[in-house]
Amino acid sequence: MYHSKKIGVFISHIFGAYQQGVCQGIIDKALEYGYTAEIFTSLDGENLGTYEIGEESILRIPNYDSFDGIIFASDTYISADLKQKILDRLKTLSCPILEIAVTDSHFPAVSLENNSMAGDLTTHFLSVHHASRVCYLGCSEEPFFSDLRENYYEKALKKQGKAPGKNDIYHCTYDTAAAKEAFDFFCQAGIPEAVVCYNDRLALLFAAAALAAGCRIPADIALTGCDDTPEGRSTSPMLTTVTFPVYELGVAAVENLLTILQGGRLAPVTLLTAKPLMRNSCGCKFSENTNSIFFMQELSARIAALENSILGSMNMSSSLQHITDLDNGMDLLEQYVRQIEHCKEFYLCLYSDWDSVSSHILALTDNEEATPDADTILLKLALKNGKRLPECSYRKRNLLPDYIYDGSDCAYIYIPLFFESKEFGYLALAYENNRIDYHFRLVQWQININQMLQSICDAKSTGMLVTRLEDIYMKDSLTGLYNKHGYHHFEKQLLDRAISEHLPLTAFFIDMDGLKKINDTYGHSEGDFAIQVLGHALESTSGGEDLCARFSGDEFYLLTVGLSENEAKLRTESIASYLDNYNKLSSKEYHISCSCGYSSLVPAPGFTPEHIQELFAKADRHMYEEKKKHHAART
């Protein structure tokens, strides 16, 4: 069953090997003690321009009160700004917090200490292999950790009564040409006997440069790496390196957090120390070298998967970019979600205000938008164990509806959905047997989903603007009825219906009585008000399919289909009755009335809009007869 005890985890770039190893250790150890992990991950500092503004929306996702404790992997954040915002939020919480950090920790921390190993490897070359000259190759792209390892290298030399020469330390980038420059630099003082490299990746680049220059490893140049990568284990000779116990780091983080929960005390920093792995590249005898053919097969599979990932992401992007309807978007997205390897559960959750329109657009379109309930979440797409579940709304007490958690011990990974500063909601994923298998292509998919949601929002805003433009073009701004453009746009629809169904077509011509007197006596603003009242009278007494328009000044057209002679007469009486009732309730010093004439016939095929104008002309004549009667009655 789903555990009510939870550990929250903040970590960035979860697709990385380090991050996945740490998270797997956290998940497994937490489950062992009856806790589940909720992992909140982001993609900060990847030079995505204004897109990454919304990364801080990760802070909106968690229900902080539900956590028994939190683990903050602060060193995984590239963006100092996002890291600081998460830190500021965590400092406001009352639950215990454990940090995974090498330096500058703000909470009790666990730290992987694998930098001093550079000194141990240096000592190994000097003491075991009796090297007289040991060089250090650092990384200019990761200066903080590179400098730490360089310091341990220099300390090891000093203990042996040595100091680095002017051509014994070099820093380069992860580039083949840069590695060759490093090799040439070292060789200015003669071929070095040994090189301690910042990590495995740099060691392999340097090894390639040395081999290309005709040097043998380790016979001519011995070297070491750090962090124990699959590539280093698959070379010949196998690379001497340093362990990278990231899984154990996650385990230690949970154990220390539970110690705090149980009232125990911890040192400010708990160190998890790496160990050297003496293999062949340093000159040691090591017989467990794996056959490189297996690594080559694995590498070929990874390249093929990457190519498929790029093509799949391109296909997904092109498929989603034209989506303007959310339901259609979810149906299409479902097809891609089913391709995620080992994904047991996938949920797309939207905030109630995810598609809210800016106040600027609302003002331009004369619209108002109801204030959404901030505690309501819409589960829009849900896939669990291969089945699509119905969408639903739920209160944000949990990050997913309660029924999702029933019978589950899944650790969920939460990823924010946003576009620039617009926050949409989040994705939630769980993997089979709680084994994290989050690939980099899901980052591309996340961006595609965000762009689709933004396109839907843009379509909504655009639709409102288009509707407003249509209103401006087709409707009278004073009364809200159609103007000439609107009338002519819909006229033929009524005519076609009257012809096809053999129904009467009735044209009404309505003109206000005494508008000039109202304008001259009370002002044009009162005249406009009177016109509005007449417009309301026509609108309230018209049927749903009637076409009512203000053509100019105080003249109104009304075109109807299906009215009998008696019903047409009742329509004019209804308009007059509306105005009479208004005048009885009004405090105005003037009365509002109108004269109305109508003409009706059943149009035959071939009847055109020009014939309708003749019908209105006849209605106009009847209107003037009515106006004369009104004038005579007043005098």
Domain parsing of the chain, residue ranges: 117-226, 484-634
Longest dimension (CA), the chain: 128
b/e sequence 429-458, b meaning 16+ C-beta within 10 Å: bbbeebebebeebbbbbbbbbbbbbbbbbe
Domain 117-226 classification at class level: alpha beta
Task: Report, as an integer, the average pLDDT of 187-208.
Answer: 96
DSSP 8-state symbol, 436:
-
Q: Are 3 and 409 in contact (CB under 8 A)?
A: yes
Alpha-carbon distances, residue 513 vs 161, 538, 579, 621 (angstroms) = 113, 15, 12, 15
Q: Residue 430: what are its φ and ψ, rounded to 5°?
A: -135, 145
User: Residue 46: its pLDDT value, please?
Assistant: 62
Angstrom distance (rounded) from CA 444 to CA 9: 23
Residue with tokens 């740099």: 202
Angstrom distance (rounded) from CA 448 to CA 339: 15
The per-residue pLDDT for range 586-623, each reduced to its tens digit, is 999 999 999 999 999 999 999 999 999 999 999 999 99
214, amino acid identity: G
Asked if residue 47 has pLDDT above 60, the reply is no
* Bond into 164 cis (ω within 30): no
Angstrom distance (rounded) from CA 500 to CA 573: 29
Domain 484-634 classification at class level: alpha beta
Strand partners of residue 111: 271
Q: Are 498 and 611 in contact (CB under 8 A)?
A: no
Concatenated DSSP letters of 384-401: ETTEEEPPEEEETTSSS-
Q: Are 22 and 73 in contact (CB under 8 A)?
A: yes
User: Residue 1: its pLDDT value, please?
Assistant: 43
Q: Bin 633: left if φ > 0, else alpha if -120 < ψ < 50, else beta.
A: alpha
Same fold for the pair 117-226 and 484-634: no
Task: Report, as an integer, the average pLDDT of 379-399.
Answer: 93
Under the banding of pLDDT at 50, 70 and 90, the label for residue 29 is very high
634, amino acid identity: R
The per-residue pLDDT for range 273-322, each reduced to its tens digit, is 999 999 999 999 877 656 666 666 766 776 676 667 677 777 777 788 88
Angstrom distance (rounded) from CA 506 to CA 559: 6
**Which two tokens mark 231?**
């590539």
Higher pLDDT, residue 378 or 439 = 378
**Which two tokens mark 273?**
């120390």
Task: Report, as an integer, the average pLDDT of 82-94.
Answer: 95
Task: Report, as an integer, the average pLDDT of 260-264.
Answer: 92
Task: Report, as an integer, the average pLDDT of 425-438.
Answer: 94
- Residues with Cβ < 8 Å from 432, sequence gap 6 or more? 342, 343, 344
User: Residue 118: its pLDDT value, please?
Assistant: 96
150, amino acid identity: E
The per-residue pLDDT for range 132-177, each reduced to its tens digit, is 999 999 999 999 899 999 999 999 999 999 999 999 999 999 999 9
Task: Report, as an integer, the average pLDDT of 230-237.
Answer: 87
Concatenated DSSP letters of 34-95: T-EEEEEEE-TTS--GGGGGGGGGGGGS--GGG-SEEEE-GGG---HHHHHHHHHHHTT--S
For the whole prediction, is pTM greater than 0.85? no
User: Residue 443: its pLDDT value, please?
Assistant: 83
Q: What is the dihedral of CA 490, 493, 499, 501, to 10 degrees?
A: -130
**Which two tokens mark 235?**
């070379």
The per-residue pLDDT for range 311-369, each reduced to its tens digit, is 777 777 778 888 889 999 999 999 989 988 899 999 999 999 998 887 788 777 777 77
Strand partners of residue 346: 383, 429
Task: Report, as an integer, the average pLDDT of 397-425.
Answer: 90
User: Residue 300: its pLDDT value, please?
Assistant: 75
19, amino acid identity: Q
Angstrom distance (rounded) from CA 278 to CA 285: 8
Strands 422-431 and 412-419: antiparallel
Task: Report, as an integer, the average pLDDT of 474-488.
Answer: 92
Taking residue 305's Cβ as centre, other Cβ atoms within 10 Å add up to 15
Q: Output the 3-class SS for 255-291.
A: HHHHHHHCCCCCCCEEEEECCEECCCCCCCCCCCCCC
User: Residue 313: its pLDDT value, please?
Assistant: 75
Q: Residue 157: what are its φ and ψ, rounded to 5°?
A: -65, -45
Angstrom distance (rounded) from CA 179 to CA 206: 5
